[in-house]
Amino acid sequence: MTEIIIIRHGETEWNKTGRFQGHSDVPLSEEGRAQAEALGRNLVLDHADAIYASDLTRAIETATPLAKRFGLTVMPDPLLRELNFGAWEGRNFQDVNTESPDAMKRFYSDPERVDIPNSEPFPDFQKRVAGRVREIVLEQRGKRIIIVSHGASIRILLADILFMPIRSIWHVSQLNTAVNKIRFEDDGFAVVTLMNDTSHLRTGEAR
């Protein structure tokens, strides 16, 4: 059995102001850094064998306290990045909605068919993220692996594992530093054992 613990990065200023981040390299906010420290300090885990992260700063900054705690080196991986939002990167959600309400509606209701100029198609995005996670499972068979990634990346992975249509991903919440756990059997069968847990952020609690 291989356990994947996949965690969303901490808060950024763009999260607070409602902007599409995607591949833009946005660092953690002050609150995000505090969340990362709380995650590293409070997550109840006796060991981890390796820690991977998206190569974007906000993911690496979130992974660093956990890596220090377990004496590991963060392995950055561009295949674990967020969706590339193309022309929407850096733009405010409300501004895009005002300019292109039909596209914004389709983004949430039928993302496989949304037309965002220069963006990454959602099916390709799923193949990239889910494919890389399954490669890590094969490379690290029998171990416990931490991965720090992004909100949509985790949702698209969960959709792959749970055989959910891609259009369902926005029905899954992923808060900043949310912890998710997935158990992979040796034959590749996967079971989600924890989803969107942030108890490490509450004083005196951890899971």
61, 82, 89, 200: the catalytic one is 82
Nearest CA to 62 among 29, 22, 21, 20? Answer: 29
- Please pick, among 9, 23, 150, 200, the residue that the annotation labels catalytic: 9
Task: Confirm whether residue 32 is marked as ligand binding.
Answer: no
User: Does 120 appear as a known binding residue?
Assistant: no
Q: Does residue 3 have an active-site annotation?
A: no
Is 90 annotated to bind a ligand? Reply is no
Say whether 88 counts as a known binding-site residue: no
Asked if residue 69 belongs to a known ligand binding site, the reply is no
One-letter amino acid for residue 97 of the chain: N
* Residue 14 labeled ligand binder: yes
Residues 6+ apart with CB under 8 A from 136: 4, 52, 145, 147
Helix (H) or strand (E) holding 30: helix 30-42
Instruction: Please give the Cα distance from 54 to 31 (Å, whole number).
Output: 20
| Residue 15 is labelled as binding a ligand | yes
Q: Is 150 marked active-site?
A: no
Q: How far apart are CA 134 and CA 88, in angstroms?
A: 29
Per the annotation, binding residues for substrate are 8-15, 58
User: Catalytic residue positions?
Assistant: 9, 82
Per the annotation, binding residues are 8-15, 58
